A = this chain, B = another copy of it.
Amino acid sequence: MINQQMTQLGENSSVIRELFEYGKKRKAEIGEDKVYDFSIGNPNVPCPQEITDIMLRLISETEAAALHGYTSAVGDNGTRQAIAAYMNEKYDIGVDFTDIYMTVGAAASLTISLRAITNPGEEVIVFTPYFPEYKVFIENAGAVCVEVPARAGDFQIDFEKLENAFSEKTAAIIVNSPNNPTGAMLTAETLDELAAFLKAKEVQYGKEIYLISDEPYRELVYDGVQLALPVKHYDNTIICYSYSKSLSLPGERIGYIMVSPKMAGRKKVFATICGAGRSLGFVCAPALMQLVVGQAQGLTSDISAYAENRAIIYNALTEYGFEAVKPDGAFYLFVKSPSGDGGEMSERAKQQELLLVPSDSFGMEGYVRISYCVSKKQIEDSLPAFRALAESYGL
- A352 touches B (CB below 8 Å): no
Query: In the complex where A116-B6, A272-B10 touch, is A283 in contact with B56 (Cβ < 8 A)?
Result: no
Q: Which residues of B contact A111 (CB under 8 A)?
A: 279-281
Kindly list chain B residues whose C-beta atoms are within 8 Å of the C-beta of A269. Answer: 2
Among A7, A56, A105, the most chain B Cβ lie within 10 Å of the Cβ of: A7
Q: Assess whether A356 is interfacial by the CB under 8 Å rule.
A: no
Residues of B within 8 A of A52 (CB): 59, 64
Flag whether A118 is at the interface (Cβ < 8 A).
yes
Is A303 an interface residue, CB under 8 A from the partner?
A: no
Is A151 positioned at the interface, with any CB of B under 8 Å from its CB? no
Residues of B within 8 A of A281 (CB): 104, 107-108, 110-112, 137, 140, 280
Given that A10-B278, A279-B9 are contacting pairs, would A2 and B116 also be in contact in the complex, using a CB cutoff of 8 Å?
Answer: yes
- Using known A-B contacts A8-B275, A9-B278, A281-B110, determine if residue A46 contacts B65 with beta carbons closer than 8 Å: yes
Mark contacts of A89-120 with chain B using CB atoms, 8 A cut-off: 1 yes-contact digit, 0 otherwise. 00000000000000011011011100111110
Report chain B residues within 8 Å CB of A56: 56, 59-60
Is A224 interfacial (CB-CB < 8 Å)?
no
**Within the assembled complex, what's the spacing in Å between the Cα atoms of A287 and B268?**
34
Q: Is A249 an interface residue (CB 8 A)?
A: yes
Complex contacts, A250 vs chain B, CB 8 Å: 68-70
- Write the chain B residue with the least CB distance to A11: B271
A268/B46 in contact, CB under 8 A: no
If A10-B278, A59-B52, A108-B281 touch, whether A208 touches B1 (CB-CB below 8 Å) is yes
User: Cα distance A133–B281 when bound, in Å?
Assistant: 9
Whether a CB of chain B sits under 8 angstroms from the CB of A201 is no
Q: Does A139 contact B (CB under 8 A)?
A: yes
Does residue A273 face the partner (Cβ distance < 8 Å to B)?
Answer: yes
Count of residues in A whose CB is under 8 Å from the partner chain: 79
Contact at A251–B59, with CB atoms within 8 Å?
Answer: no
- Assembly of this chain: how many copies? 2
Confirm or deny: A29 has a beta carbon within 8 angstroms of a beta carbon on chain B.
no
Q: Are the CB atoms of A68 and B47 closer together than 8 Å?
A: yes
A311 close to chain B: CB less than 8 A: no
A115 to B136 CA separation, bound complex (whole angstroms)? 14
Q: Which residues of B contact A252 (CB under 8 A)?
A: 68, 286-288
Closest CB-CB distance, A253 to chain B, in whole Å?
5
Q: Does A63 contact B (CB under 8 A)?
A: yes
How far is A133 from B107 in the complex, measured between Cα atoms in Å? 22
The verdict on A156 contacting chain B, using a C-beta distance below 8 Å, is no
Q: Report the Cα distance A249→B265, complex, angstroms.
A: 36
Question: Are A9 and B275 touching (Cβ within 8 A)?
Answer: yes
Q: Is there contact, CB below 8 Å, between B6 and A275?
A: yes
A148 at the interface (CB under 8 A from B): no
Residues of chain B within 8 A (CB-CB) of A108 are 281-282
A392 interfacial contact with B, CB 8 Å = no
Shortest A179–chain B CB gap in Å is 19
Judge if A207 is at the interface, Cβ distance under 8 Å: yes
Name the distance in Å between A17's Cβ and chain B's nearest Cβ.
Answer: 8
A71 to B251, CA, bound (A): 6
A55 cross-chain contacts in B, Cβ below 8 A: 59
Q: A248-B65, A283-B105 are in contact. Are A272 and B7 (CB under 8 A)?
A: yes
Segment of A37-45, A80-88, A187-195, A320-328 in the binding face = A37-45
> Could you jot down 30 A-B contacts, CB within 8 Å?
A1-B208, A2-B208, A2-B272, A3-B115, A3-B119, A3-B276, A7-B272, A7-B275, A8-B275, A9-B279, A10-B272, A10-B273, A10-B275, A10-B276, A11-B271, A40-B70, A42-B70, A44-B65, A69-B251, A107-B283, A108-B281, A108-B282, A111-B281, A140-B279, A251-B286, A251-B287, A253-B253, A253-B284, A280-B280, A280-B281
